[in-house]
Amino acid sequence: PEPQVPRDPSKKTLVILGTGWGSVSLLKKLDTENYNVIVISPRNYFLFTPLLPSCTTGLIEHRSIMEPIRSICRSKKGPVTFYEAEASSIDTNRKIVKIRDNSDIRGDTTETEVPYDMLVVGVGAENATFGIPGVRENSCFLKEIGDAQQIRKKIMDCVETAAFKDQPAAEIDRLLHMVVVGGGPTGVEFAGELRDFFEDDIRKLIPDIADRFRVTLIEALPNVLPSFSKQLIEYTESTFKEEEISIHTKTMVKKVTDKAVEAEVSKPDGTKERIVFPYGLLVWATGNTLRPLVRDLMASIPAQKDSRRGLAVNEYLVVQGARDIWAVGDCAVAGYAPTAQVASQEGNFLARLFNNMAKTAELEERIQTLSSSLNLKPGVNSADVSREIEDAERKLQRIKDIKPFHYSHQGSLAYIGSEKAVADVSWFNGNVASGGTMTYYFWRSAYLSMVFSTRNRLLVLNDWLKSKLFGRDISRE
Residue ranges in contact with ligand FAD by CB under 6 A: 17-23, 40-43, 49-50, 52-53, 86-87, 122-124, 142-143, 186, 291, 293, 329-331, 338-341, 343
What is the Cα–Cα distance from 473 to 476, expressed in whole angstroms? 9
Site string for ligand NAD, 163-192 (x = CB under 6 A): ------------------xxxxxxx-x---
Site string for ligand NAD, 296-335 (x = CB under 6 A): ----------------------------------------
Of 260 and 440, CB closest to ligand FAD = 440
In sequence order, the 6+-apart residues with CB closer than 8 A to the CB of 375 are none
**What is the nearest approach in angstroms of ligand NAD to the Cβ of residue 442?**
13
CB under 5 to 8 A by kind: which of ligand NAD, ligand FAD, none does 282 bind?
none
Of 340 and 402, CB closest to ligand NAD = 340
DSSP string across 13-59: EEEEE--SHHHHHHHHH--GGGEEEEEEES-SEEE-GGGHHHHTTTS
**CA atoms lying within 13 Å on the CB side of residue 318:** 13
Region label for 305, one of left (φ > 0), alpha (ψ between -120 and 50) or beta (otherwise): alpha
What is the Cα–Cα distance from 28 to 26, expressed in whole angstroms? 6
**Can residue 99 be called a binding residue for ligand NAD (CB under 6 A)?**
no
**What is the nearest approach in angstroms of ligand NAD to the Cβ of residue 226?**
5
Give the residue nearest to ligand NAD (CB). 184
CB under 5 to 8 A by kind: which of ligand FAD, ligand NAD, none does 291 bind?
ligand FAD
Q: Judge residue 142's burial from the number of C-beta atoms within 10 Å of its C-beta, 0-12 exposed, 13-18 middle, 19 or more buried.
A: buried
**What is the nearest approach in angstroms of ligand NAD to the Cβ of residue 101?**
29
The distance from CA 23 to its chain's CA centroid, rounded to whole angstroms, is 10
**Can residue 285 be called a binding residue for ligand NAD (CB under 6 A)?**
yes
**Sheet of 96-100, strands arranged across:** 86-91, 96-100, 111-115
CB under 5 to 8 A by kind: which of ligand FAD, ligand NAD, none does 293 bind?
ligand FAD
Our CA dihedral for 291, 293, 296, 297, rounded to 10 degrees, sits at: -110
What is the Cα–Cα distance from 422 to 181, expressed in whole angstroms? 20
Residues at the interface with ligand NAD (CB under 6 A):
50, 130, 132, 181-187, 189, 218-221, 226-227, 252-253, 285-288, 337-339, 412-414
